[in-house]
Amino acid sequence: MAGCLRWVVASWLVIAVTGGAYGELARAKDHPPEPGVPLQTILELETTARLLAVLLNSGRAVVNDNQELLDDPTRGNKGFTAEAFEHQLMDMFRAHASIDLRELPAARLPQRTKDLLRVLVEVSKQVVAESQDAINRQGVEFKGFIPAVFGSRVAGRFAERTGVRLKQTSLQPRNPANAPDTFERAALEQFADPSHPRERVISEVAAGDKALRLLFPLYATRGCLACHGEPKGAKDKTGYPKEGLRLGQNAGAISVTLPIRR
């Protein structure tokens, strides 16, 4: 009975977070998972996936906030070191997640969540450290160090170290490697609907109970508009046609695939 109740609660949670639109739910309804992923586990995985998306997005936002400095052709050394970046990253993450990474060991989070956050900070710093030559090049404006490039380098290293996949995606991706799969596309279409509550994530337990998948929506800030804003079709400084986004509009998502440990 308790097991059955747990399944009912868990499937209610999946309905709540996905709007009931996905395959997993239909599968779960017909064949209750045995023994299933406990609700507590789903909640923890969802929190972990959300925090990882917020942390990757915080790093992207720090790069975005410094884009003018990074693109300044008159300056050599920009002082945008791994340590300077880390400081801003921690402030940005605290503002968005109300968690102080400087005091992570004392935070009330599961150990796996803490470990993953720590590794994500480490690889984010590594990417900034390894980009110093490009960042400090004088006489060049566009050096290719932008939020999306930072994000995909960080994601690559993070997957190598942890097996957790982070991906930046949108309905009309500039980079074909960022193209959405079926689950991502369905979530992105919901995010694009202006009635979708801001920052509400969409998640599901992937087929076979092997992983939790979560999509965290991104919104266009002023800094993004230089490249993704108006006029639609005009080339941005990276050479891509702009998407015509306006301030506050959904600008894609970060997709997290977090393996479920048994």
Residues that bind ligand HEC (CB under 6 A): 60-61, 64, 67, 146-149, 152, 168-170, 173-175, 178, 218, 220-221, 223-224, 226-228, 236-238, 240, 251-252
Instruction: Indicate the residue among 81 and 178 with the shorter CB distance to ligand HEC.
Output: 178
Residue 92 · residue 58 · CB < 8 Å: yes
Measured over the CA atoms of residue 201, residue 101, residue 145 and residue 74, the dihedral's sign is positive
- Residue 73 C-beta: closest distance to ligand HEC, Å: 14
- Residue 83 C-beta: closest distance to ligand HEC, Å: 22
Instruction: Indicate the residue among 104 and 171 with the shorter CB distance to ligand HEC.
Output: 171
Measured over the CA atoms of residue 61, residue 177, residue 134 and residue 102, the dihedral's sign is positive
Residue 37 · residue 43 · CB < 8 Å: no
Instruction: Indicate the residue among 42 and 188 with the shorter CB distance to ligand HEC.
Output: 188
Q: Taking the mean position of all CA atoms in its chain, how far away is CA 215? A: 8
Residue whose pair of structure tokens reads 């300044």 in the numeric block: 72
Q: What distance in Å separates the CA atoms of residue 75 and residue 69, rounded to the nearest whole number?
A: 8
Instruction: Indicate the residue among 37 and 155 with the shorter CB distance to ligand HEC.
Output: 155
- Residue 35 C-beta: closest distance to ligand HEC, Å: 37
Instruction: Indicate the residue among 144 and 208 with the shorter CB distance to ligand HEC.
Output: 144
CA angle 141, 146, 148 (to 5 degrees): 155
Of all residues in the shown chain, the one whose CB is closest to ligand HEC is: 224
* Ramachandran class of 19: left when φ > 0, alpha when ψ lies in -120 to 50, beta otherwise: left
Instruction: Indicate the residue among 121 and 218 with the shorter CB distance to ligand HEC.
Output: 218
- Residue 39 C-beta: closest distance to ligand HEC, Å: 31
- Residue 72 C-beta: closest distance to ligand HEC, Å: 13
Q: Smallest Cα–Cα separation from 63: which of 170, 219, 223?
A: 223
- Residue 120 C-beta: closest distance to ligand HEC, Å: 18
For residue 90, give Cα distances in angstroms to 54, 97, 150, 214.
Answer: 11, 10, 17, 23
Q: What distance in Å separates the CA atoms of residue 82 and residue 88, rounded to the nearest whole number?
A: 10
- Residue 221 C-beta: closest distance to ligand HEC, Å: 5
Instruction: Indicate the residue among 103 and 193 with the shorter CB distance to ligand HEC.
Output: 193
